[in-house]
């Protein structure tokens, strides 16, 4: 079991839209970055991830689960691009903002802090537990 973080601009695809898809989940498509794609290839059914709102909000809002492993991204014919499907599991009780994470000091090595532009990234078990707690779960 590994942990991940999925970044989305809420005006493009928000947590609420993800929740509306229910257990059916939704393709995490549109990723055109090799690093992000490679992480998706590593994902297994049942892996969990944080759902992060970039741009205006800049906070982790919920938890998602991988419900289909990497497959061709249906939004392109280019077979370089694959994606997984994810479904919403539960929202955080309180969102954990990027400012919270940066101010904490324990997350200096976290991809979210170090590689701000990477849209799909790994989260360590420690980071996962600490942020869950900060989010009130």
Partner DNA sequence: GCCAACGTTGGC
Chain positions contacting DNA, by CB under 7 A: 7, 9, 32-35, 54-56, 58, 98-99, 102, 112, 115-119
Burial class (CB in 10 A: 0-12, 13-18, 19+), 29: middle
Q: Which is nearer to DNA, 2 or 58 (CB)?
A: 58
Cβ at position 32, least distance to DNA in Å: 7
By C-alpha distance, which of 38, 21, 39, 34 is closest to 123?
39
By C-alpha distance, which of 119, 117, 131, 6 is closest to 64?
6
DSSP SS3 for 35:
helix
Q: Which is nearer to DNA, 114 or 133 (CB)?
A: 114
Cβ at position 27, least distance to DNA in Å: 16
Q: Which is nearer to DNA, 69 or 100 (CB)?
A: 100
Outline where the chain has alpha helix (H).
Answer: 15-20, 34-42, 98-104, 111-114, 125-134
Q: Which is nearer to DNA, 44 or 106 (CB)?
A: 106
Cβ at position 87, least distance to DNA in Å: 21
Cβ at position 99, least distance to DNA in Å: 6
């Amino acid at each position: 079991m590994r942990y991940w973080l999925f970044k989305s601009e809420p005006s493009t695809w928000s947590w609420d839209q993800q929740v509306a898809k229910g257990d059916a989940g939704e393709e995490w498509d549109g990723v055109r970055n090799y690093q992000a794609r490679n992480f998706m290839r590593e994902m297994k059914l049942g892996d969990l991830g944080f759902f992060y709102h970039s741009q205006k909000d800049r906070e982790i809002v919920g938890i998602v689960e991988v419900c289909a492993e990497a497959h061709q991204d249906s939004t392109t014919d280019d077979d370089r691009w694959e994606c997984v499907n994810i479904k919403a599991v539960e929202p955080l009780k309180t969102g954990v903002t990027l400012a919270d994470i940066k101010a904490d000091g324990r997350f200096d090595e976290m991809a979210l802090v170090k590689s701000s532009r990477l849209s799909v990234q790994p989260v360590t078990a420690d980071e996962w537990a600490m942020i869950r707690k900060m989010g009130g779960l």
